Amino acid sequence: MPTNHLRIEARKLRPAIIAVALFITGIACTLPSHADDKASDEQPKDSGLYVKVLLSTTVKMSKLKPGDSVEGTLARDVYGADRKLFSAGSPVRLTVDHLERRRRTPNDHWPWVVNAFKPRHENYPVFQKATVQGPGGDIPLQVSLISNSKMRQVFAQGKKGKSPQASPDEPGAVETTKSVQKKPAVPTVVLEAFGLEGAATGAIANTGESATENRIQSVPAGTHFRIVLLGDVSASRSRPGDLVTGRILEPVLLNEKVAIPAGSLVHGKVVKRTPPRMLSRAGSLYLTFSEITLPEGNRVQIAAYPAGAELNERSHTRIDREGGLHGERPGKAWMAINLGMTAGVAKVADDGIQLIIEAVVSTATDVSTAGTGRIVAACASGIFMATRHGRDVMLPRFSEMEITMERDVSIERVPVTASNNEAGSE
């Protein structure tokens, strides 16, 4: 066979080689990976306080420069144990210190082929200082940016589309759940703040009685409160038995007294998980919470389950009546991308197998290899489509959740002493 003819055949084989590589990569990307399982099992330690700021305007964070300012208001009250540090709606001003490259947060928005071509890192502004306008004037804080996105509220739905949340008039209802309707997504910046206790001296108001004497309060079933997760949880990486830790954002008040102070830790575990599977079947995740650790060190056994969550506006996760989190079915755009890739795989497989046969068998022609090409194309496209996995369920670190108590719980508050603090720190 002439050399020029071989070169032409080799050039024609390049698309087939590329298609095979993409096909293998697509299958590999859908297989479960446990490379980070060890890291995900280790729950990060609690450190600063969680601060959420609603921006006054949509800001492109990657376009900010050192020295630029971003303004907004506090989305919720900021508490430290039994005391409120700042009120919701307080003006906040953030100043960019410098920019750095950060790895993008995993999401369930698009199939792997889209994520494979998106940059793995993006420019993030580093905010080291923030100013909150309190009752006594501007208060400087040390902060660290956690995330920046548009968030929306998702609640568990009952049989007729009603939320099972307790109404604000019921015992144990907290201020954050007065409205159970789905709220529109708004640009939000989540920060971790440090040194609040010293910075907020003089601007702090008590939310109720402090724990100066032993008292026992009964928290009724149906009481719900918001927590922030201190570690990543997902249907693809988490396993049954993995520990889940959260921190209560606002104190639970009963009869105008603090029953469960803000900052208390809630401990739970992954009960069941189903990773995203082939045939575009979505994953699911079931969590349960069994213990609360109060700031003074007391441990209280509870039984609670998720009843709501705050997710990215483009997340496709729903919550059922039992608190299970489920990925939704692939949408039209998701399926269109998969079908387009399937058609491309079929075309390249058809042409590629014909070129390979013609290069190996000198008597082969396009007509004689057409049937074989179609069979191979059908098999390749069928395998590719069948191996597409559905949406994942992802709860990144510092995701907000609303949990509901399943049964009555008696909580004993004891005086906060030096010995208690030392025991809690241990």
- Of the candidates 355, 361, 366, 364, the one whose C-alpha atom is nearest the C-alpha of residue 10 is 355
Rounded average pLDDT over 316-328: 89
State residue 157's pLDDT score. Answer: 67
Instruction: Give first-to-last CA distance, the chain, whole Å.
Output: 79
CA atoms within 13 Å, Cβ hemisphere of 83: 13
371-405 per-position pLDDT tens digit: 888 888 889 888 888 888 888 998 988 889 999 99
Confidence label for 183 from pLDDT (cuts 50, 70 and 90): low
State residue 95's pLDDT score. Answer: 87
State residue 46's pLDDT score. Answer: 47
Which residues make Cβ contacts (< 8 Å) with residue 247, sequence separation at least 6? 46, 50, 227, 228, 230, 263, 264, 265, 266
In order, the DSSP letters of 336-378 are HHHHHHHHHHHHHHHHHHHHHHHHH-TT--HHHHHHHHHHHHH
Select the more confidently predicted residue: 207 or 257.
257
The amino acid occupying position 196 is: L
State residue 185's pLDDT score. Answer: 62
> How many Å apart are CA 269 and CA 303, to the nearest integer?
12
- Pick from 103-107, 219-223, 278-282: least confident: 103-107
Edge-to-edge strands of the sheet including 83-86? 78-80, 83-86, 205-206
> How many Å apart are CA 318 and CA 339, to the nearest integer?
25
Confidence label for 81 from pLDDT (cuts 50, 70 and 90): low
> How many Å apart are CA 102 and CA 61, to the nearest integer?
12
> How many Å apart are CA 281 and CA 236, to the nearest integer?
12
- Pick from 107-121, 152-166, 306-320, 392-406: least confident: 152-166
Confidence label for 82 from pLDDT (cuts 50, 70 and 90): low
- Residues 402 and 155 sit within 8 Å (Cβ to Cβ): yes
State residue 303's pLDDT score. Answer: 92
- Pick from 68-72, 169-173, 180-184: least confident: 169-173
Select the more confidently predicted residue: 63 or 425.
63
Which residues make Cβ contacts (< 8 Å) with residue 196, sequence separation at least 6? 48, 49, 78, 80, 85, 141
Both tokens of 130, joined, read: 């923030």
Select the more confidently predicted residue: 314 or 236.
236
> How many Å apart are CA 106 and CA 314, to the nearest integer?
12
40-74 per-position pLDDT tens digit: 344 444 457 788 888 887 777 777 888 888 889 99
Q: Which of 149-153, 217-221, 233-237 has the highest mean pLDDT?
A: 233-237
> How many Å apart are CA 329 and CA 344, to the nearest integer?
23
- Residues 232 and 251 sit within 8 Å (Cβ to Cβ): no
- Pick from 14-18, 27-31, 307-311: least confident: 27-31
Distances (CA, A) of 263 to 14, 144, 245, 274, 354: 59, 18, 12, 31, 66
Computed over every residue of the chain, the mean pLDDT equals: 75
Both tokens of 104, joined, read: 């993008």
pTM: 0.71
Confidence label for 270 from pLDDT (cuts 50, 70 and 90): very high
Q: Calculate what percentage of the chain has a pLDDT beyond 70.
A: 70
Position 286 pLDDT exceeds 70: yes
- Pick from 6-10, 12-16, 45-49, 164-168: least confident: 164-168
355-369 per-position pLDDT tens digit: 888 888 878 787 778
Confidence label for 331 from pLDDT (cuts 50, 70 and 90): confident
Both tokens of 92, joined, read: 């906040």
State residue 210's pLDDT score. Answer: 47
Select the more confidently predicted residue: 153 or 37.
153
Select the more confidently predicted residue: 186 or 294.
294
Q: Which residue has the tokens 């606002």?
A: 250
> How many Å apart are CA 270 and CA 273, to the nearest integer?
7
Dihedrals phi, psi of 71, to nearest 5 degrees: -115, 150
Position 140 pLDDT exceeds 50: yes
Indicate the SS3 state at residue 214.
Answer: coil
> How many Å apart are CA 341 and CA 328, to the nearest integer?
21
Pairing of strands 69-74, 49-55: antiparallel
Secondary element (H or E) of residue 41: helix 37-41
In order, the DSSP letters of 262-307 are TT-EEEEEEEEEE--BTTTBPPEEEEEEEEEE-TTS-EEEEEEEEE
- Of the candidates 51, 50, 92, the one whose C-alpha atom is nearest the C-alpha of residue 71 is 92
- Residues 105 and 147 sit within 8 Å (Cβ to Cβ): yes
Position 245 pLDDT exceeds 90: yes
Rounded average pLDDT over 229-248: 93
State residue 417's pLDDT score. Answer: 53
- Pick from 22-31, 42-51, 160-169, 372-381: least confident: 160-169
State residue 112's pLDDT score. Answer: 66
